[in-house]
Amino acid sequence: MPDPVPQMSADGGPAAARFDVAVIGGGVNGTGVARDLAIRGLSVVLFERHDLAFGASGNSSGMIHGGPRYLLGNPSVTKSSCLDSGYIQRIAPHLLFRIPFLVPMKKGTRGRVMLELYDAFFRAYDDFQPLKRGELHTRLDANDLARLEPGLVGSIVGGVTFDEWGVDGARLCVMNAIDARERGAKVHVHTTVESIAKAPPEDASDRQPLYALVARDTMTGKSTRVHARVVVNASGAWGPITAALGGLRATRVKIRPAKGIHVAFDRRLSNYAILTEAIDGRQIFLEPWQNISVVGTTDDDYYGDLDDVVPTSEEVRYLIQGVARIFPSIATARAIGTWAAVRPTLYRWGPNEDRLSRDHAVIDHAPDGAPNVYSMIGGKLASYRLFAQEMSDRIAETLAPSSKCSTHARPLPGGDEVPDAVVIARDAEITPVAARRLVYRQGSRAARIVERVKRNPREGAVVCACEPVILAEVRHAVAEEMARSIEDVARRTRLGLGACGGMRCAARCGQILAEEMGWTPREALSDARRFLTRQAKMRVVAMGPEQARQEALALAQMRAMLGTKNPS
């Protein structure tokens, strides 16, 4: 740990603000811990280098699942995921949606044997289903499967069903962060922690260590200094890099980063999610998710840039090839984008990536000379709350010994009641589809957006037709949910992530941000350009040549309209 830093800033500015706990990372683990500790009454500051959910949490497969895959090697992971899934349903009922899965088996001896094995396996998984309000599995014959999912082809002997839950991971993080902030936590987005050092004690009798963190706002360049009793490194795959900022032994924050990608399609292509195998025997899936379809996922050791994880066309082809074998219409369906992220998996040398444990661990840095500094590694969206509780219980031992975790019982913002979308549609005078999506994202807080529309009916106008998203929700994302760019609004509302890739809404969204944040028209245009360029980069790897040519043309035209001569 580096030497103490002075309490006054170098320019003689004010002393650093003082907190009980500083959390680094605005993924599901960081925001989960910040919320838990804020509820317990501790003062918390959270720094997120990009936007909330920028990393794995906002780019996962979006499932609050029990992880049947881990039942054989890691049953405790299955149990904790199922248990926490039940709690997450209770605190965010609006954000979770059922995803029933089909597992079809091809005809032949192997198919028949596999059907018996899967049937027996899911019988064991059934024991965990009540924890998460899941239906028990069912065995199906070929006729059942053909009736339920007409898109399935080939000679199929039968299959099984199992039940999971989907979630919008980005909103889950945003809701945790908002709740933490409403309970007094200070949340800095687009602010990267650049150093962690021991601070001099505030008075000579103080035996507790104090840490000084310096963070920089990447949009304004402004630096912030804070002091904290406890530091939590919840920076996921960045964990070892963040630990190095504090001079901590990197070998103690050991992860095996693994990249996973997904391909998005413009609509729900199947009635059910379908689990199948890729060419190498790995499990992959097609799932209806919100109002799109998603194919995922890969799992490959990753050594690249964590701040710019981009799928390749080879990864896309690997997934589509696997799904097309059993659901051929996927090959001609309209892909509208991809996303990718890096799993902060617990380290082990040797096994293939998808055989690695999905368990989580807290690293205590006291042996590195930094007591009260912790790193959280591994884990899952599905068990984030439990992981946050474990971390918070540990911190509370010294800072709030009489406190108890209550995050399993207290609703996340909007989770106290799920309003009727028909009533919301009538009150805001918006279409039932727009109302339904609004209720999904906002739960009871949809009422706040309706209030905005009632005050100013022009805010009922649709900004993004694909999702759809209305003007009031964009303004709400900036005013109440810490969005600072079009990409941030997209993460919170899915604006621009549909079929048009933002072509029809990015410029308008930029104008709204300009009004909300005092940007100049030029700043709004350059943010729209940035968003569209990023979208094009994530879409092009999944497109056929014709669609890619057409989109390149449309993008060039859009850039010309937005005032760039060189569409590079």
Ligand X SMILES: Cc1cc2nc3c(=O)[nH]c(=O)nc-3n(C[C@H](O)[C@H](O)[C@H](O)COP(=O)(O)OP(=O)(O)OC[C@H]3O[C@@H](n4cnc5c(N)ncnc54)[C@H](O)[C@@H]3O)c2cc1C
70 part of the interface to ligand X, by CB under 6 A? no
Of residues 292-351, which lie at the interface with ligand X (CB under 6 A)?
Answer: 297, 341-344
Stretch that binds ligand X, among 28-36, 88-96, 311-319, 439-447 (CB under 6 A): 28-36
Contact map string, positions 7 to 26, toward ligand X, x by CB under 6 A: -----------------xxx
Q: According to CB under 6 A, which one of 19, 54, 374, 440 is a site residue for ligand X?
A: 54
- Residues in Cβ contact with 511 at an 8 Å cutoff, skipping those fewer than 6 apart: 521, 524
225 part of the interface to ligand X, by CB under 6 A? no
Give the C-alpha separation, 451 to 498, whole Å. Answer: 27
48 part of the interface to ligand X, by CB under 6 A? yes
Give the C-alpha separation, 384 to 374, whole Å. Answer: 16
85 part of the interface to ligand X, by CB under 6 A? no
Q: According to CB under 6 A, which one of 260, 496, 498, 510 is a site residue for ligand X?
A: 260
Give the C-alpha separation, 441 to 134, whole Å. Answer: 22
- # chain residues binding ligand X, by CB under 6 A: 38
Stretch that binds ligand X, among 10-18, 129-137, 179-187, 380-388 (CB under 6 A): 380-388
529 part of the interface to ligand X, by CB under 6 A? no
Task: Give me the least distance between CB of 115 and ligand X, in Å please.
Answer: 25
Q: End-to-end CA distance of the chain, in Å? A: 44
86 part of the interface to ligand X, by CB under 6 A? no
Give the C-alpha separation, 542 to 312, whole Å. Answer: 8
78 part of the interface to ligand X, by CB under 6 A? no
101 part of the interface to ligand X, by CB under 6 A? no
Give the C-alpha separation, 452 to 448, whole Å. Answer: 6
Q: Which of 129/235 has CB closer to ligand X?
A: 235
193 part of the interface to ligand X, by CB under 6 A? yes
Q: For 544, what's the count of Cα atoms within 13 Å in the CB-facing half-sphere?
A: 8
353 part of the interface to ligand X, by CB under 6 A? no
Q: Which of 240/501 has CB closer to ligand X?
A: 240
Q: Which of 86/468 has CB closer to ligand X?
A: 86
Q: Which residue has the tokens 């200094």?
A: 225
Task: Give me the least distance between CB of 351 and ligand X, in Å please.
Answer: 17
Give the C-alpha separation, 394 to 388, whole Å. Answer: 10
Q: Which residue has the tokens 């993008």?
A: 555
Q: Which of 241/553 has CB closer to ligand X?
A: 241
Q: How far is CA 399 from the centre of its chain?
A: 29
413 part of the interface to ligand X, by CB under 6 A? no
Give Dmax over CA atoms of the chain in angstroms: 78
Q: Which residue has the tokens 């898109």?
A: 151
Q: Which of 110/268 has CB closer to ligand X?
A: 268
Task: Give me the least distance between CB of 147 and ligand X, in Å please.
Answer: 28
Phi, psi of 4 (to 5 degrees): -55, 145
Q: Which of 37/341 has CB closer to ligand X?
A: 341
Task: Give me the least distance between CB of 106 and ligand X, in Å please.
Answer: 26
Strand partners for 100: 163
Give the C-alpha separation, 405 to 340, whole Å. Answer: 33
Q: Which of 161/191 has CB closer to ligand X?
A: 191
Which value, to the nearest 10 degrees, does the dihedral of the CA atoms of residues 16, 19, 23, 26 take?
-80
How far is CA 437 from each of CA 32, 288, 421, 443, rounded to the nearest angstrom? 24, 15, 8, 10
Give the C-alpha separation, 41 to 119, whole Å. Answer: 48
Task: Give me the least distance between CB of 238 and ligand X, in Å please.
Answer: 3
Q: Which of 156/167 has CB closer to ligand X?
A: 167
Stretch that binds ligand X, among 43-51, 69-77, 330-338, 410-418 (CB under 6 A): 43-51
How far is CA 407 from each of CA 84, 88, 133, 316, 413, rounded to the nearest angstrom? 11, 9, 19, 38, 12
Q: Which residues bind ligand X (CB under 6 A)?
A: 24-30, 47-50, 54-57, 60-63, 65, 192-193, 234-238, 242, 260, 297, 341-344, 379-382
